[in-house]
Amino acid sequence: MNNSDDISPFLEIQRLSKSFPGTVALDEVSLNVCRGEIHSLMGENGAGKSTLMKILAGIYQKDSGQILLNGQPVEIQNERQALQSGIAMVHQELNNFPEMTVAENIFAGREPSRLGMVKKEELNSRAGIILQEFHLNIDPHTKMGMLSISEMQLVEIVKAISCNAAILILDEPTSAISSIDADFLFEVLQRLKKQGVAIIYISHKMEEVFRISDRITVLRDGKWISTGYSTEITRDELIHKMVGRELKELFPDRTSIPGDTVLEVKNLSRQNAFIDISLSVRKGEVLGIAGLVGSGRSEFIKSIFGFPPADSGEILVMGKRVHIHSPGDAMNNGFALVPEDRKLAGLNLLGTVMFNTTLAVLPRFAGFGGMIHRTQEKQAAGYIASQLQVKSGTMNQLISNLSGGNQQKVVLAKWLLVEPSVLLLDEPTRGIDIGAKSEIYQLINKLAMEGMSILMVSSEMTELMGLCERIIAFRKGKISREFDRSGFNQEHILAAIMN
C-alpha cells in the first residue's frame, strides 16, 4: 500500500463518454489516478478499457467529459499533445523500428543533433545512461529487432519515461512474455512508482493485478462499476464485478475416463526448436504443455501439424506411423491446430465470419468444376457457429468486427468442422475476456468427454491445472518433467519450466 490517500489525485477523468457507430464505448466514466500509484483497469473485452486509454493517449477524441491534470483541464487532440501533457502509452502491439538501434529508438523523433546531423555518440551515450538507470542490461547499439518482446517493452517504457512522462499507460504488457520477464517488469514499475510516476495498468491476469496494484477499477459495458484498494477486494468479487454474474465453475469436473492411446510421439526433434520429445495422448484426454516462450512448446505443437515438419522422430496415430510434411497431411490424419496468434495465423481478418469458418473444409462443399455449394456451406457454418455460440450479426459480417473472444470461437469452429480426432491448442484463451474463456473451457471439457484427444499449450497455470489430466513441462526444447493430476502444484510446475 502507498499513501495515495493523502495525495490529491494527479489525473482526474470526469464523466468521459465516447460513442462509435452502433455502440456506446464509454458512458460517463469517472476515475482518478495519483502520483506514485499503480492503478489497474479491469474488465472484459469491450468493457471500454482500451477506449478510455486511447482517449488519454490522444488516439481517440472524447465526445464529452473532462480530463484534469493537476486540477487543470487539458485538451488532448492527438498523440503529440498527450506526450506533451506527460501521458505516454506502451501499446500491446509494440510500435518500434526493428531495423534501428535501441538508442535510435529511444530518441526517435528527438535525436540530439547539430545542423540537422545526428550526434551519434551523444545519442548512444545518453541512451546508455538511461538504460543503466533502469538496471537494464541492454546495449544501446543493438538493433531493436534483435531484442526479446519483454526487452522491447522495457525499452518502450524507458523511452516514455525519458520523455518526462508523468503518467504511464501499459496495455497488457505481460500477454506475450514469460513470468520471469514479467517479474523484472514489475521491479521496474515499482521503481517508477517510487519516482512518483502514475501508472495505469491494463491486464487480464488476476494474479499480477493483485500483486502490483494499489487500486483496481472495474469497467463493464462502458460503465464504471467500482474502484477500490486491491487489499480490500477478493478475486471472486472482482470476477463477479467484471462479468456481472457468478462464475462458480470456471473449470467443471470431467467425469469421463481417458481411453486408449490415440497420439504417440517418439523422439521428435527439430533443429533450434526442440529435441527428443516423446509423449502420448489418450482418447478423451487433455494433455497440457507448460513452458516459457522460447521453450519449444509452440514449435513442437506446430511441427506435429507439419508447419514446419520435424527433422526426425516418429508420430503415431492409433498405433500406426503417419508421415506429416504439411498441414494438409496433418489434417488428413485427423489433426487440427488452433494456432497461438489468431490475428497472425488463425484468421484472415479481411474475410467474413463464413469465409473463416469454412476455409479448412471447403473441398467438402465442392461440386462440378470446384464450385462451392453455398447452401451446404452455410448450413455447416451456421450449425457450428451456433454450437459454439459465436456472437455475430450475420455470417457475412467481417470477422474484424467481432470481439476477441468471438474471433477465437470462430477459429475453434473452423477446426472443429474438420472433425479431428486430435485437437492441438496453442494458447487457446490468450487475450480474451473471462466470459469467453469460461465458454472455451466448457467446450474443451465437452470435447474431451466426447472422446477427442487434446494437446494444449498454455502460459496460464490455472488453466492447465484446471483442464488437464497431465501436464508436461518444457524447458529449453526438452521435456523437463511430467505431472499427474494428483501431483499438480503450481510452484513445482513453475520450477520445472524455469531456466
Binding site for another protein (CB under 8 A): 21, 305, 307, 326-328, 330-331, 337, 339, 344-351, 355, 359-360, 362-363, 365-366, 369-372, 414
Cell of 493: 510446475
Give the residue carrying C-alpha cell 545512461. 129
23-33 and 11-20 strand pairing: antiparallel
CB-based contact 208:174 (threshold 8 Å): yes
Smaller CB separation from another protein, 132 or 332? 332
Q: Cβ of residue 331: shortest distance to another protein, in angstroms?
A: 5
Which of 117/371 has CB closer to another protein? 371
Is the Cβ of residue 359 or residue 495 nearer to another protein in the bound state?
Answer: 359
> DSSP characters for 125-153?
HHHHHHHHHTT----TTSBGGGS-HHHHH
Beta carbons of 44 and 220 less than 8 angstroms apart: yes
CB of 380: closest distance to another protein in angstroms? 14
Minimum distance of another protein from residue 398's CB (angstroms): 10
Min CB(362)–another protein separation in Å: 5
Query: Taking Cα atoms as reference points, which of 103, 100, 79, 97 lies closest to residue 89?
Result: 79
Find the helix or strand (DSSP H, E) in which 383 lies. helix 374-387
For 269, residues 6+ apart whose C-beta sits below 8 A from its C-beta are 275, 276, 277, 310, 311, 312, 313
Nearer to another protein, 146 or 372 (CB): 372
The least CB distance from residue 176 to another protein, in Å, is 17
What are the backbone angles phi and psi of residue 454, rounded to the nearest 5°? -125, 130
Instruction: Look up cell 542490461; give the residue.
Output: 137
> 158 or 330: whose CB is closer to another protein?
330
Q: Give me the long-range contacts of 316-325 (CB less than 8 A, separation at least 24).
A: 316/263, 316/264, 316/265, 316/266, 317/262, 317/263, 317/264, 317/421, 317/422, 318/260, 318/262, 319/261, 319/264
Pick 79 or 207: Cβ nearer another protein: 79
Q: At what angle do helices 235-243 and 434-449 cross, to 10 degrees?
A: 100
User: Minimum distance from CB of 306 to another protein (Å)?
Assistant: 9
Nearest distance, CB of residue 440 and another protein, angstroms: 19
C-alpha cell at 155: 525499452
Task: Specify the residue, 64 or 332, whose C-beta has the smaller distance to another protein.
Answer: 332
Q: Report the alpha-carbon distance of residue 209 to residue 215 in Å, rounded.
A: 9
- Which CB sits closer to another protein, 413 or 468? 413
* Comparison of 324 and 434: residue with beta carbon closer to another protein: 324
Task: Work out how close the CB of 141 gets to another protein at its nearest, in angstroms, rounded to a whole number.
Answer: 30
3-state secondary structure of 93: coil
In angstroms, give the least distance from the CB of 19 to another protein: 13
